[in-house]
Chain A
Amino acid sequence: MENSLEGSGERKLQCSDVSKCFQLLESILDGNNVPDSQEILKSKLAKCQPCFEHFHLEQAIKEVLRNKCTKHEVPSELVANIRQKIEEIK
């Protein structure tokens, strides 16, 4: 996602309820079904600096994890072995 809200001039520097906000932001980021998630996200990121920073950090970590930790090549014989064993128990 683009970091479209540059500049922190308009944002408050203290979050009024850090646990509730961060939990909600993480739920949205993690793809859970949160009602009105886009509106919530937009308004929190626009109005609150700690929320803004937390969201973008979590998002960046999530992205590098996905890009760099999922590229294990499956050993070529594994699929063949599984199919052979299945034939045996059929």
Chain B
Amino acid sequence: MSEVQRKKYTEQEKNKIFDGEFMPHIDSMYNFGYRLTFDEDDAKDLVQDTYLKAYRFINSFEQGTNAKAWLFRILKNSFINDYRKKSKQPSKVDYQEVETYYNSDDVDYSMTSDLRVDSVKDMLGDEISNALNSLAVDFRTVIILCDLEGFTYEEMAKILDIPIGTVRSRLHRARNLLKEKLRSYAQNMGYNTDEEG
């Protein structure tokens, strides 16, 4: 949320922004919340919190700008600051830890995957979903933002408060991990993936 306090909206304008620009994203917001927490009630709380904050800080939202990105950023921050702290299942990897651990925007692009396009297309929803859910939260998040929600790297950088280079490298790593998962599912389905050994 921007520190710049814009002109105050009237009650009527607030309602118009809320209904016209915020509420249409509720499906995406809920899906994001659910994929972060894996729990229906937690997802509901997170989304509700986000919309309440959005209303409370509506004067710092500039009408006509990217409401979806603005809402996603609030939800992501609520998840880290509120949900994570009281969470029953502390996450294995912490947001910044991931970057410190890998500590570089250098990514190995030479790693090729023998996963086949055909086997990907034949995957069931559950397999895709499970593969995505198996990723650590930071990796899962970039895939959700990019592939499910269609945000650009620039928008993702703003939502996540990280440089574009980090968005790029984190996304690439996430995709490699996801492909590994999908590859093992494909093998179980009996697809020939030139498995070694």
Contacts and interface: CB of A to CB of B under 8 A. Distances in A.
Given A32-B153, A60-B117, A69-B148, A19 B55 contact: no
Interface residues of A, number: 37
Contacts, number: 106
Contact of B148 (A56, A66, A79, A86): A66
B128 interface: yes
Contact of A69 (B26, B120, B121, B128): B128
B55 A86 contact: yes
B147 A62 contact: yes
A28 to B, nearest CB: 11
Interface in B135-157: 143-144, 146-148, 150, 152-154
B175 A61 contact: yes
Contact of B109 (A19, A89, A90): A19
A1 interface: no
Nearest to B56: A89
Contacts of A22: 109
Nearest to A82: B51
Interface of B: 11, 18, 23, 26-28, 30-31, 34-35, 40, 44, 47-48, 51-52, 55-56, 107, 109-110, 112-113, 115-117, 120-121, 123-125, 128-129, 132, 143-144, 146-148, 150, 152-154, 168, 171-172, 175, 178-179, 182
